[in-house]
Amino acid sequence: MNTIPYKMKKNWAGLAMLSTAIIAISSCGGNANQAPGAQQPPAAYQVFTVTPQSATLHTSYPAVMQGEQTIDIRPKVDGYIEKIYVDEGSVVKKGQLLFKLNAPEYEQTVINSIAAINSAKADINSAEIAVNKTKPLVEKGIISEYELQTDQNTLDTKRAALAQAQTTLATAKVNLGYTYVTSPVNGVVGSIPYRLGSLITSTTASPLTTVANIGKVYAYFSLNEKQLLEFSRSVKGSTLDEKLKNTPDVNLALADGSAYPEKGRLETISGVLNTTTGSASFRAAFPNPLHLLRSGSSGNVDIPQALTDAVLVPQKSAYELQGKHFVYILGDNNLVKNQEIQIMELTAGQYYVVTGGLKAGDKIVYDGTISLKDSTKINPQPMDANKVYQDLKN
């Protein structure tokens, strides 16, 4: 029969006593120095006092650019393109020659009109001779006055023919002048779809080109009904003109995200909502001295909105529940209370703009709201308000 040595039995007995002690310590909460039934101290949370702040809200809207004038260049007469004096994208001045059309019929009309004038002048000379010859004979009673009146009527007819020929020449010269197509404004030439030899008429679908006056460029964008109401309430003024005057300068972000260096001004707001889109059209004007903006280009118009003495709350200090926003306010005896707040749709960076439910002087928990519950007692750690709102000043 096998027997366990005495020394081994002694070791096993010691291990059993050690395990019993560990279990006893674990049953006491793992802290042998803590008295049974003692409470945990309140957790520490950073708390700050809400103070009025100044901030600027930014709202960005997609926009399309249009020059101050965009004019289709169309011929007033029919003809073949004989000469093109500009290229696409050229900067032109008012009155600068763009195209020359070949229209021989107008040149021929000018020649014919000049010939008609010369013929009319010769006829007038003959008629005047006849009148001068007849007049003394009538005075001497050799021939009747009827002969003189007839010659005078012939002279008047020839003079009328001269006047008509001169009018025809003037019209012919005007039509011939239309074969020289010039720019009606200062601007930039658009695309040129036709080439030398192309037949152009006044009814041709596409214009010869376009000239866009882009010394000043308009940015067109839209606000939906809700945004329009918020804009109307936030800008001072009892009339539309007053609100436009009180609106600060607007900024423009170009298609590549870079900031356009010139400031713009809101000029017009459509008085009627588009029933299809439910939006109102806005127009902002931007100076364009370097011709950086072009008709048809896109960007984003940024409308700043300045706030003074606003109640702002860091977004990390609030939590959302079922579409509502809440913060924890520090109350008596260091107990926190969850408080619903109303906020603006626009944010000031990482801050909510509070419109209701909170006032200056309230103390709220800065962070860690996810671990709190209503009526929880905390150990508040006061924060400097300047540290809380420092991002607004950056």
The mean pLDDT value for 136-160 works out to: 85
**Residue 218 · residue 226 · CB < 8 Å:** no
Res 308: pLDDT: 86
Taking the model in full, what pTM does it have? Answer: 0.60
Taking only the tens place, the pLDDT of each residue in 334-353 is 999 999 999 988 888 899 99
Res 29: pLDDT: 43
Res 159: pLDDT: 92
- The residue assigned the tokens 């949370």 is 45
Res 131: pLDDT: 84
Alpha carbon 22 to its chain's center: 74
**Residue 86 · residue 189 · CB < 8 Å:** yes
Write down the number of H helices and E strands in the chain: 7, 19
Most confident region among 11-20, 271-280, 322-331 by mean pLDDT: 322-331
Report the amino acid identity of residue 347: T
| CA atoms 256, 259, 260, 266: torsion sign | positive
3-state secondary structure of 234: helix
3-state secondary structure of 166: helix
**Residue 286 · residue 260 · CB < 8 Å:** yes
Taking only the tens place, the pLDDT of each residue in 359-394 is 999 999 999 878 899 999 999 999 998 889 987 766
Pick the range with the lowest mean pLDDT from 4-13, 142-151, 235-244, 355-364.
4-13
**Residue 337 · residue 328 · CB < 8 Å:** yes
Res 37: pLDDT: 52
Taking only the tens place, the pLDDT of each residue in 69-83 is 889 999 988 999 999
3-state secondary structure of 349: coil
According to DSSP, the residues that pair with 325 across neighbouring strands are: 320, 341
**Residue 233 pLDDT level (bands cut at 50, 70, 90):** confident
Q: Which domains does the chain have, with CATH numbers?
A: 45-55+308-393 (2.40.420.20), 59-68+216-306 (2.40.30.170), 74-200 (1.10.287)
Res 35: pLDDT: 52
Taking only the tens place, the pLDDT of each residue in 204-231 is 888 999 998 888 999 999 988 888 887 8
Find the helix or strand (DSSP H, E) in which 172 lies: helix 145-177
The mean pLDDT value for 307-316 works out to: 91
**Of 229, 219, 217, the residue nearest 273 (C-alpha):** 229
Taking only the tens place, the pLDDT of each residue in 160-213 is 999 999 999 999 999 899 999 999 988 889 899 999 999 988 788 889 999 988
Res 197: pLDDT: 92
3-state secondary structure of 246: helix
3-state secondary structure of 192: coil
Res 38: pLDDT: 59
What is each CA distance from 10 to 15, 19, 82, in whole angstroms?
9, 15, 121
Residues in the chain, overall count: 394
